[in-house]
Structure 1
Amino acid sequence: MNINPVILSIPIYFLLIGVELIIQHFQHRKIYRLNDALTNMSCGITQQITGAFLKVLTVTTYQLVYENFALFNVPVTWYTFILIWLGVDLCYYWAHRMSHEINLFWGGHVVHHQSEDYNFSVALRQGSFQVFWTFFFYLPLAIIGVDTLTFVLVAAINTVYQFWIHTETIGKLGWFEYVFNTPSHHRVHHGRDPKYIDKNHGGTFIIWDRLFGTFQEEEERPTYGITKPVNTWNPIKANLQHYVDMAGQLKKVRSLGDGLRIMFNKPGWLPDYLGGYQGVPDVDKSAYRKFNLHPPSAFSAYLIFQYLFVLGGTSFFMFNQGNFSIMEKSLIAVTIVVSIIILGGIIEMREWAFATERIRQLIQPLLAYFLTYSLIPVYILGVVGIASLIWMYKIRTPTSKPDQTINA
């Protein structure tokens, strides 16, 4: 059983998303768009699946540093727990800040900023490669003497705290905002307006931004997203697009030095012969429109059902991953990731997605049956698969076209 607070908090996350949806209904506000919210979930699922493998590397590295280089042994009491939390958040601040200020690192973090909405589902949208560029920022805690279990626990709590700050339904919170990160502060962080870029990097606490000069008060409502929108509902493309663009730039450089500067300078830096630094453009709010490609409404219920089914499978995997062999874990991971790629293709009404979805519905029930050690009766999985095939046959027509309505 996985006792990671991030995993244990999943039901609370979706309860809060439900609360936001109720608020959306009664306030007649457009807080959520189905295509964007499902893609946020897809990116979160992908990050959790890859994290199940990468965490072995990061936690093992931390443990090795702790065992061989720890200067002290920090006891865990109520007051040292608070100090450790401050230490974890300070390390998070610098890891997060450098993820914005170093182009290579930004490729791992950019996924979290791609959504052009701002709601609780955005908190689930995380980059699968971010851990590569951030885990070593926490190693000073191992050298100080914070044991691995305590570090993992506090880091998870720090992550859980940050879920509730991804909302527009909570305003400013008075004195609380002088010390803690809040929805108002974090809305600024997700803004693509020039005045809001690279501000408010703290996790739990905002004191680091005030101390190190990266604090910005929320003034006018931010425009959310990134300066170069990714314009896709495919979670794999969302994770890779920045690196694809960077590779294209690196092919054009005339020296190794310029290549390294592209990788380790701020995002947007280019040598003069490639156009020079690409600054943050102003946002013309009167002309700005969100990317909003989505399928006809008849597909919405089907997509919601399939995403919930995949989410259930992911949760089962995360809670029970210790029971699987490495081959079983790999097969489950591939199955889940392929599923959300196909579903993302259906949102975009790609022809290949409909063909592969039918194949997925034939294979997935058998895989789920064997990989869950028959905990789920095969007839239930079979009914789900057959019902899904019939459902898709009923709603799929040759003339179906994606709805390209764009909402500001």
Structure 2
Amino acid sequence: MLYLWFMNIDPIILSIPIYFLLIVVELLVQFFHNQKIYRLNDAVTNISCGITQQITGAFFKVITIAAYQFVYENWSLFHIENTWWSVTLLILAVDLCYYWAHRMSHEVNLFWGGHVVHHQSEDYNFSVALRQGSFQVVWTFWFYIPLAFLGFNTVTFLLVAALNTVYQFWIHTETIGKLPRPIELIFNTPSHHRVHHGRNPKYIDKNHAGSLIIWDRMFGTFQEEEERPTYGITKPINTWNPVWANLQHYVDMTSQLKSTPGLMNKLGILFNKPGWRPVALGGYQPAPEVDKANYRKYDTHPALKISIYVLVQFVIALGVTSVFLFTLPDQELINKLVFSLVIVWSVAQFGLLLDNHPDWSRLEYLRILFCGGIFSFLYPLPIVVIISVLYTVTSLITFFFIYKPAAGRVRSVINS
């Protein structure tokens, strides 16, 4: 099966060690240069969103790859052989399709719900590159279908598209300044992409490029980096919960649809730019200027022992996720579903702990018991049972002694 074959060689999955190596490099820069690049709660949430996207993507890819292959086999105009010129043409075509898919993800409110997750972080570092929306592929994959009609075979397309994604990891950093002018003219760079992540009105909906900035220059969406951007979205989500990060926009949009009269107006909410409203309800709401004097990033300060506990549990969850992704082609469907439930529940729970939610935090006991028990049930091997029991007992005891329910939700902020 084509999907299973691709999952074994997916460059995005195979590049995971490189991603974390670069994050370590950035952490070393933070340490030796005394720069504030990372915050634990933000970085954990960024990577957690990436985890949920990879988990859901394991199921969505079955549909999207099958759709591309179906069009290629039945409706393609040509069957293009892999030569140096055809692969070069495909690289350019994939990047152009990415530009329009990405641009429409900003200009169509319904599509923005899948992409907004990537822009929610108020920091800008390599971990932000991993912060991806679980539903984005639902809206953007179809922009690549014309390549199947033209006759670019599925395997080569998937590899080129994945490499296009891998390229974009390194541009999510403030540690690299502007590069020599010829590079800045042609390629997407950290400077160009910092603009894209800015919530300053002059920066919003600019620099949609994947690998080549030439598309933005051609289609009028290019913006040079001038002052340092203020990162994030105009309506911060104010939570470290990656599941809510994926759902909040759609919840808000549903509320807007209910309060907006008329079918055409409701369609306008769905398919116009984010911020669109009927004239009767005030008209388009442009992005406000950033009040830098009063702007504060969302932040929380749970007890240090809770932060350490979350970090240790998160590393364990990251290991489980890696095992899941690297063994995905060999997993039975029930195992895939259970792995997915355990991983998504875990990262959501970590977000609630970092948010200082006293009521929801008590679910950690149930999560530990479920995680420890389910793997013993699915894999009743002595070594698995022993590891599961050790994990369950040590986690329950540790959490019992370190967790002290707060009187209410605690929130504090830091200067940007």
Identify the TM-score tier after normalising by the shorter chain.
over 0.9
Residue 285 of structure 1: aligned partner:
292
Q: 1:152 aligns with which of 151, 158, 172?
A: 158
- Superposed CA RMSD in Å reads 1.6
C-alpha separation in 2, matches of 1:403 and 1:271: 35
Q: Is the 8 A contact 1:343 1:353 kept in 2?
A: no
The alpha carbon displacement at 1:171 in A equals 0.6
C-alpha separation in 2, matches of 1:398 and 1:181: 47
Q: Is the 8 A contact 1:369 1:376 kept in 2?
A: no
Q: 1:64 aligns with which of 54, 70, 86?
A: 70
- Matched residue type, 1:34: L
Q: 2:320 aligns with which of 313, 324, 341?
A: 313
**Structure 2 length normalisation: TM-score?**
0.95
Mean Cα deviation higher: 77-86 or 56-65: 77-86
**Structure 1 length normalisation: TM-score?**
0.97
Indicate the SS of the match to 1:393. helix
Count of matched residue pairs: 408
Residue 248 of structure 1: aligned partner:
255
Residue 148 of structure 2: aligned partner:
142
Residue deviations 1:275-295 (CA, integer Å, cap 9, x gap): 211011001112111011231
CA spacing shift, 1:389–1:75, aligned 2, 3 Å: same
Structure 1, unaligned stretches of length 5 or more? none
C-alpha separation in 2, matches of 1:374 and 1:33: 39
Q: Is the 8 A contact 2:356 2:406 kept in 1?
A: no
Residue 200 of structure 1: aligned partner:
207
Q: Is the 8 A contact 2:30 2:36 kept in 1?
A: yes
Residue 368 of structure 1: aligned partner:
375
Q: Is the 8 A contact 2:295 2:415 kept in 1?
A: no
Q: Is the 8 A contact 2:297 2:413 kept in 1?
A: no
The alpha carbon displacement at 1:261 in A equals 0.8
C-alpha separation in 2, matches of 1:282 and 1:230: 18
Q: 1:269 aligns with which of 251, 254, 276?
A: 276
The alpha carbon displacement at 1:65 in A equals 0.6
Q: Is the 8 A contact 2:296 2:413 kept in 1?
A: no
Q: Is the 8 A contact 1:162 1:203 kept in 2?
A: yes
CA spacing shift, 1:269–1:376, aligned 2, 3 Å: farther
The alpha carbon displacement at 1:299 in A equals 1.5
C-alpha separation in 1, matches of 2:383 and 2:10: 24
The alpha carbon displacement at 1:325 in A equals 2.0
Residue 119 of structure 1: aligned partner:
125
The answer to whether the aligner puts 1:53 opposite 2:72 as a matched pair is no
Residue deviations 1:211-261 (CA, integer Å, cap 9, x gap): 111111101100000011111111111111111111111112221000001
Indicate the SS of the match to 1:290. strand
C-alpha separation in 1, matches of 2:382 and 2:135: 32
The alpha carbon displacement at 1:323 in A equals 1.6
The answer to whether the aligner puts 1:186 opposite 2:193 as a matched pair is yes
Residue 4 of structure 2: aligned partner:
none
Residue 340 of structure 2: aligned partner:
333
Residue 412 of structure 2: aligned partner:
404
CA spacing shift, 1:330–1:393, aligned 2, 3 Å: same
The answer to whether the aligner puts 1:31 opposite 2:58 as a matched pair is no
- Matched residue type, 2:324: F
C-alpha separation in 2, matches of 1:352 and 1:69: 55
Structure 2, unaligned stretches of length 5 or more? 1-6
CA spacing shift, 1:143–1:363, aligned 2, 3 Å: same
The answer to whether the aligner puts 1:381 opposite 2:388 as a matched pair is yes
C-alpha separation in 1, matches of 2:187 and 2:128: 20
C-alpha separation in 1, matches of 2:383 and 2:347: 21
- Matched residue type, 2:328: Q
Residue 78 of structure 1: aligned partner:
84
CA spacing shift, 1:83–1:369, aligned 2, 3 Å: farther
Indicate the SS of the match to 1:2. helix
Q: Is the 8 A contact 1:184 1:218 kept in 2?
A: yes
> Sequence identity, in percent?
61
